[in-house]
Amino acid sequence: ACLLFASGMAAATTTLFAMLSRGTHVVVTDDSYRRTRQFLNQTLHRYGIEVSTVPCGDYDALEDAIRPTTRVLVSESPTNPYNRILDLERFADIGRRHRVKTVIDATFATPYNQRPLEFGVDVVIHSATKYLGGHNDLLAGAALGARELVDAIRGLQGITGAVIDPFAAYLLVRGLKTFALRMERQNANAQAVAEFLAAHPRVAAVHYAGLASHPEHDVARKQMRGFGGVVSFEVGGDLDAASRVVDACRIPYLAVSLGGVESLIEQPAIMSFYELTSEERLEIGIKDNLIRYSVGIEDADDLIADLAQALDRAFASA
């Protein structure tokens, strides 16, 4: 069953509120969506719910963190912004063995590329604002799982009122009509962009699961149809160098969202995490030279040529 919400965070928060109560415990991986971690560590903490955070990909730490009061394991795959990949089968198995529910945010993957329910995950969250809508003109979220679980979440949704409005639902249905076509193109474009960046001398690292150099590439190949439309990369320089690259790009819009037909680019250190110091950002893994590129459906050669000239201009005096 699937339940629609007013936003992705409405789906995530309502789902977790429905599954947790005072005195219970939840485990979350450290590379999960930032707002979800804030909700768990700041909001739910005030209601007597305990939270443990473990490193993404450390399955021993995940299992060791489970207590008698643990009710939910929360993670994301691929993660934002580093495209880390969770072994869904292993994650779901840990939950089953300990009789703990598992929740995955699969926004970056979309149902086109990855279906966690088929690997045994209990609940899947999507921000439909992104790829499912696909046009950067709506807010919506979704929670999917077994009917009895979704019905329990639906009961709380009726109380909190986090329902999708009719026009947003209409726009979402419109977007879904071209969803598969868009994802096929965005998968191909992102792969081409990632391969170009990986070979560029001014790029220090590329974070994209479609590259053989990605640490979880084999896991991604096993459980994903394609690797998504977001490519994150680090330029060989500092905060200002990354800013010069972003400013020199001519095709992508400067914006923090993702998943639409238009390419978007952002520098997380001064946009998504602007309120933190460099030291605070580094503590949560956000580097000053990191750039996140949400690849759209434009011509791949045009996107690559634009990145090439941007990198050349940004480092022209270096």
Per-residue pLDDT for 160 more than 80?
Answer: yes
Contact 206, 174 (CB under 8 A): no
Cα–Cα nearest to 258, from 87, 78, 123, 86: 78
Burial class (CB in 10 A: 0-12, 13-18, 19+), 16: buried
Backbone angles phi, psi at 291, to 5 degrees: -125, 135
Instruction: Give the per-residue pLDDT at 280.
Output: 77
For the beta sheet containing 264-266, the strands, ordered from the edge strand earlier in sequence to the opposite edge, are 203-207, 230-235, 290-294, 264-266, 253-254
Instruction: Give the per-residue pLDDT at 206.
Output: 98
Instruction: Give the per-residue pLDDT at 164.
Output: 97
Instruction: Give the per-residue pLDDT at 284.
Output: 76
Tokens representing residue 150 in the block: 């979704």
Distances (CA, A) of 246 to 292, 305, 308: 9, 14, 12
Backbone angles phi, psi at 55, to 5 degrees: -65, 140
For CATH 3.90.1150.10, the residue range(s) in the chain are 179-314
In tens, the pLDDT along 46-63 reads: 999 999 999 999 999 999
Q: Which pairing describes strands 70-76 and 25-29: parallel, antiparallel, or unpaired?
A: parallel
Per-residue pLDDT for 318 more than 70?
Answer: no
Per-residue pLDDT for 241 more than 80?
Answer: yes
Q: Between 94 and 269, name the one with better pLDDT.
A: 94
Task: Give the residues across from 73 on adjacent strands.
Answer: 27, 102
Tokens representing residue 103 in the block: 């929740």
Q: What is the mean pLDDT of the chain?
A: 96
In tens, the pLDDT along 192-206 reads: 999 999 999 999 999
In tens, the pLDDT along 274-296 reads: 777 778 787 778 899 999 999 99
Grade residue 273 by pLDDT with cuts at 50, 70 and 90: confident
Instruction: Give the per-residue pLDDT at 278.
Output: 77
What is the C-alpha to C-alpha distance for residues 242 and 267, in angstroms, rounded to an integer?
7
Q: What angle do CA 5, 266, 308 make, to 5 degrees?
A: 135
Residue with tokens 């040529």: 305
Cα–Cα nearest to 72, from 25, 118, 34, 32: 25
For residues 222-247, b (16+ Cβ closer than 10 Å) or e, as one string? ebbebbbbbbbbbbbbebebbbbbbe
- DSSP class per residue in 29-84: ETTS-HHHHHIIIIIGGGGT-EEEEE-TT-HHHHHHT--TTEEEEEEESS-TTT--
Grade residue 22 by pLDDT with cuts at 50, 70 and 90: very high
Give 164's DSSP letter: P
In tens, the pLDDT along 112-152 reads: 999 999 999 999 999 999 999 999 999 999 999 999 999 99
What is the C-alpha to C-alpha distance for residues 257 and 310, in angstroms, rounded to an integer?
21
Mean pLDDT of 90-111: 98
In tens, the pLDDT along 167-225 reads: 999 999 999 999 999 999 999 999 999 999 999 999 999 999 999 999 999 999 999 99
Grade residue 111 by pLDDT with cuts at 50, 70 and 90: very high
| pLDDT > 90 in the chain, percent | 92
For the chain, how far is it from start to end, CA to CA, in angstroms?
A: 55
Amino acid (one-letter) located at 32: S
Q: Indicate the CATH number for domain 2-176.
A: 3.40.640.10
For CATH 3.40.640.10, the residue range(s) in the chain are 2-176
Distances (CA, A) of 61 to 44, 56, 69, 246, 289: 22, 9, 17, 37, 29
Distances (CA, A) of 281 to 145, 204, 274: 34, 19, 9
CATH superfamily of 179-314: Aspartate Aminotransferase, domain 1 (3.90.1150.10)
Per-residue pLDDT for 317 more than 70?
Answer: no
